[in-house]
Structure 1
């Protein structure tokens, strides 16, 4: 382990977090809040600058970055970012429990949207801003952002980007990793700005539009009013957010291809077709099952389209209590929670690409049983899938299942039934937020013990980083010095 480069990189990340806290300080001053709110951010900023200086004052002589260092930097960065990001809530007293503040902040950075708050409207504007702003930061990835503004980190940071950008396969869209990061963030922020504009055109105030734009862009789902999106009671706002969530669930590389005029690469993308087909199929199936629950078809489609968009993109915004829907719809929604959106997007879950590869591999095995002498090749995205990719997907699924059920076992003593424990882990590990049972859309995670909240916090970070960077932190050989 090259401790020097790990400390230097994390130090830079801490400085970036310190600089980003300028925005909630400005919000506190604009809304003339009590001084403690601005000071809680300023104190945290000082701590971040000091810790960043101690860790990474000088770039090490041996600055080579390998896969292990990339994974460790990614895992540790998300842990320390969540901890320091929680301090303003704790110092200001608006979330007096440090464990609760850590849970809320990790939920924000991982774009989960799970909350311990029972009255979100009790928070001040600056705290609401920071809470939702973490979605925007974490959506594309704080380390990707750091690489975008600090190109001196070098092109070896491809190992960091691989660890932070979700999906079974990572590919740069231009030759240099720093340039790729900048392009992705320009597209990301541009789409966020358009979302804010369209929400304002629907009558939503600027502050509300910005924060809901943060949630849609990061596919996070923190609401700023009790009842999430329901209090706005606007079909237009719901439609804008539904479309925005689906668009942010698309692989951002495809938007680069669109800007470059390569429309063919977009429309031929197999994962995109799977993604849209799953959304359409879920909407049709759930709408049919709700035919006796809602009167007009338009009202039914409005609620189903929003809910499906929110669940498959692992955003977590809500307009209705879908826990009251029939059991068949719960099964579909749970499946959508596990599927997630496309690789290379801001969403969580297993990712559509993995599901596609697994499905095609399963069909290939069935054909092989029927015709054992026939040579079969699994094809995805118009090319043969290498055995190494298939093996990687299968191994990830095994590790995913082991970690998932381990988390269920750890939190089960805290909940009254299996549905609640299973759903709580599914909603946090897949970075969704609300689930079913005691963590349904009208409830919070406040009733869990501190132990379970810490477990679910680790689960959120592990799910956002696709497990490996967090697991590596607990392995002894990881810390062996070169």
Structure 2
């Protein structure tokens, strides 16, 4: 294990995160909130000092970089930037307990949207901005950003594809172009473009500038931190519709947008994952609309709220226009199922990912066919290409570990004594980076009532879900720190 290399990557990540805090600090200065400005200034100073020490003591000519360094660097960087990212909330006194502040910022960086706050509107604008912007940073990934814009990071990381594979969601990650830097720049270019379009459409609907940026950050990162207690409920139908469309767009694999720019329409249409994603979303919207139509003045209004909530839950964003806890059990069951499905691989959404669900379904079909025809060779294909056994085995292993973590987390937080529905939906919502669950953690609830132990478990679930488990689990393995390859 190249420990000095890990130190340099972590130092660069913390330094860049601190630079992004300059914007909320400026907002605090403009709003005349000197105490909040000092809380950000102090945090930035601590992060700069920490980064300087790491970069100084991690100087080395050894650029050896393998998969284990990629996993370890990703896991450590996300933990450390979360520990520092919570400090402005804590120093400002607006979230007076550090555990709560840590839970909030982990929820932000992992694009979960789960909150311990009962009154979001009590936060200052600078903290509201930092809270929402953390979604945007975590959506595409801080290390991908480093690879795109920081030359030193590319020199340090060597084979940076290991970093991208560790941080980017999905069963497999590849380069869009022969050069990794170009791939990272294309991904972030598309990300910025879609975010800007979302802001423009929100502004055209009359949303205030500050609100537009915060809501767009939450939509782009599929995070769901709102700046009003009613989430999206107080905004117009037009603004809610804009967010509905962009949530679905950010749930699509970004490589398809690159193919769209290249006008490779046939390749896009061949995407089985995209077709299943659209099919699941469309079918869920139709079923829920039929089920809740009697609760609203018109079928259109029922369709509007069904479309918004399906988009929000499936893309793991977590915004809400209504209290879906009041919906019939059938509709809530569909939303609960969508929590597990998630968005597409290579998007900013969480969950299992549609591609994994598709591969699992294909594997089940292959197993049934092999039972019926033992001598026939059964091959799994996706988008016309053969899926190798290693990918299939990795998906199966991921699902197994996924279920074990869900079960263990559920058992631990059950010590707090809340209902099974509250606890299982809380773990599911945090692990799949969704945010709201059901009952006490529903659209109008929060996570503030949980104990410190449960909050730490749920925060760990958020990190495990966002980084897709293994970059954090490898930190616990002795083999990771072994010098042997």
TM range (shorter): over 0.9
Which residue pairs with 2:452 in the alignment?
A: 450
Q: Does 1:195 align with 2:208?
A: no
**What does residue 226 of structure 1 align with?**
229
Question: After superposition, where does 1:42-191 map in structure 2 within 5 Å?
Answer: 42-57=41-56, 59-152=59-152, 153-154=154-155, 155-191=158-194
Q: CA deviation at 1:373?
A: 2.7
Deviations 1:148-168, CA, capped at 9 Å, x for gaps: 111342451110100000000
Aligned to 2:351: 349
Cα distance in 1 for partners of 2:432, 2:478 equals 27
| Structure 1: gaps of 5 or more residues | none
CA distance in structure 2 between the partners assigned to 1:394 and 1:401 by the alignment: 11
Cα separation, 2, equivalents of 1:295 and 1:373: 59
Q: 1:454 to 1:303 in 2, by over 3 A?
A: same
Candidates 239, 242, 247, aligned match of 1:240: 242
Q: Which residue number corresponds to residue 275 of structure 1?
A: 277
Q: Deviations over 1:247-286 (max 9, x none)?
A: 0001111111111222222122111111000001111111
1:337 aligns with 2:342: no
| Distance (whole Å) between structure 2 residues aligned to residue 476 and residue 418 of structure 1 | 35
Q: Deviations 1:308-338 (Å, cap 9, x if unpaired)?
A: 0000000000011111111111221111000
The CA deviation at 1:454 is 0.6
Measure, in 1, the Cα distance between the counterparts of 2:411 and 2:480: 26
- Say which is worse superposed, 77-86 or 263-272, in terms of deviation: 263-272
After TM superposition, give the deviation of residue 374 of structure 1 in Å: 2.3
Q: Is contact 1:3–1:481 with CA below 8 Å preserved after alignment? A: no
Q: C-alpha displacement at 1:18, in angstroms?
A: 1.2
Q: Distance in 2 between matches of 1:18 and 1:272?
A: 36
Distance in 1 between residues matched to 2:437 and 2:336, nearest whole Å: 8
TM-score (norm 1): 0.98
Distance between the aligned counterparts of 2:59 and 2:184, measured in 1? 21
Please, what is the CA RMSD of the aligned residues?
Answer: 1.1
For structure 2, the residue ranges without an aligned partner over 5 or more in a row are none
Contact 1:8–1:60, Cα closer than 8 Å, also in 2:
no
Q: Look up the match of 2:39.
A: 40
CA distance in 2, matches of 1:285, 1:241: 21
Change (3 A) 1:315 1:415: farther
Measured in 2, the distance between the counterparts of 1:346 and 1:241 equals 15
Per-residue displacement from partner, 1:215-273 (whole Å, max 9, x unpaired)? 000000000011100012x1101110000000000111111111122222212211111
Q: Distance in 1 between matches of 2:399 and 2:269?
A: 28
TM-score normalised to the size of structure 2?
0.97
> Is the CA contact 1:151–1:178 (under 8 Å) kept in the aligned structure 2?
no
- Partners of 2:371 and 2:363 lie apart in 1 by 13
Aligned residue in 2 for 1:358: 360
Secondary structure (helix, strand or coil) at the match of 1:292 reads helix
C-alpha displacement of 1:481: 4.0
Aligned length: 480
* TM-superposition CA deviations, 1:70-127 (whole Å, max 9, x none): 1011001111111100000000101000000000000000000000000000001100
Q: How does 1:386-405 map to 2 (within 5 A)?
A: 386-405=388-407
- 1:376 is paired with a residue whose SS is coil
**What's the CA shift for 1:432?**
0.2
- Tell me the residue number matched to 1:384: 386
Question: For residue 439 of structure 2, what is the aligned residue in structure 1?
Answer: 437
User: For 1:467 and 1:416, how far apart are their aligned partners in 2?
Assistant: 26
**Counterpart-to-counterpart distance in 1, 2:481 and 2:54:** 17
Q: For residue 62 of structure 1, give the secondary structure of its aligned residue in structure 2.
A: coil
Kindly report structure 1 stretches of 4+ aligned residues shifted beyond 6 Å.
none
Matches of 1:289 and 1:200, distance apart in 2: 33
Shift of 1:53: 1.1
Match of 1:214 among 204, 214, 217: 217
